[in-house]
Amino acid sequence: MADTFGPMRDADADDGVTGMGPDPAAARKEPIRVLVVDDHALFRRGLEIVLAAEEDIQVVGEAGDGAEAVDKAADLLPDIVLMDVRMPKRGGIEACTSIKEVAPSAKIIMLTISDEEADLYDAIKAGATGYLLKEISTDEVATAIRAVADGQSQISPSMASKLLTEFKSMIQRTDERRLVPAPRLTDRELEVLKLVATGMNNRDIAKELFISENTVKNHVRNILEKLQLHSRMEAVVYAMREKILEIR
């Protein structure tokens, strides 16, 4: 059954979206171009109305399923694809990989009612940068779009916990053979990576380690370069798989 438009909570709710990345830039010259993908026309229309009130966000198109989303992404080259997980013809997770091929610069945020660990993990593997539940407030949708556009990975807090549980289960189920030795991270880089894995942002990591926020950013950049990865979330997945760090 396809996802439906869940209730939007007040923006002051305690369990807001958890970010994993640098703080969003305060100013932006061009609006963030968003493609909205959902099989419910009313939900798409609701998102368009909400986002139309944001001066720095522009909805450039919409699609009703994953197949149409791939075509629209190739044509429009949006900055952000805001996409449902479960849709007819072609689901959002399956569409992720194709969208990344036709529009490599586009960042994908899954917006869904599915709180299944498997959907979350598959979405990340397919290239999604965010995974949000439809219960989030209207303000949080715009905030998440800005954050992902500025390099963060956004995930609903309840799903962040499930993500770490899935990592641990994956390690327990599978003892993968390493074809290439894992790059060596410094002790400080390992400290930073462990804090990233808990969902802390750069500012909080800096306070925890008594270092500057710029130093944290440099450590994160070095970690990604060493591991040849593109996002903080991918770094955590890699670290768990290769047993670089363990979360008990």
For helices 187-197 and 232-241, angle between their N-to-C axes, nearest 10 degrees: 110
Domains and CATH numbers, the chain: 26-158 (3.40.50.2300), 176-241 (1.10.10.10)
> What are the pLDDT digits (tens) for 114-158?
888 778 888 888 889 889 888 888 788 999 999 999 888 888 776
pLDDT at 2 over 60: no
Amino acid type, 65: D
For 2, phi and psi rounded to 5 degrees?
A: -70, 155
Which pLDDT belongs to residue 44?
Answer: 92
CA dihedral 97, 102, 103, 108 (to 10 degrees): -20
pLDDT of 9 > 60? The answer is no
Averaged pLDDT, 167-184? 55
CA 6 vs. chain centroid, Å, equals 20
Of 167 and 200, the one with more pLDDT: 200
- pLDDT over threshold 60, residue 165: yes
- Summarize pLDDT for 12-46 with one digit per residue, the tens: 444 455 554 444 444 557 899 999 999 999 999 99
199: its two tokens = 């969902």
Query: Over the stretch 42-77, which tens digit does the pLDDT of each residue have?
Result: 999 999 999 999 999 999 999 999 999 999 999 999
> For residues 223 and 235, is the Cβ–Cβ distance under 8 A?
yes
Which of the residue ranges 103-117, 130-144, 165-179 would you say has the lowest mean pLDDT?
A: 165-179
Q: Which helix (H) or strand (E) holds 154?
A: strand 153-155
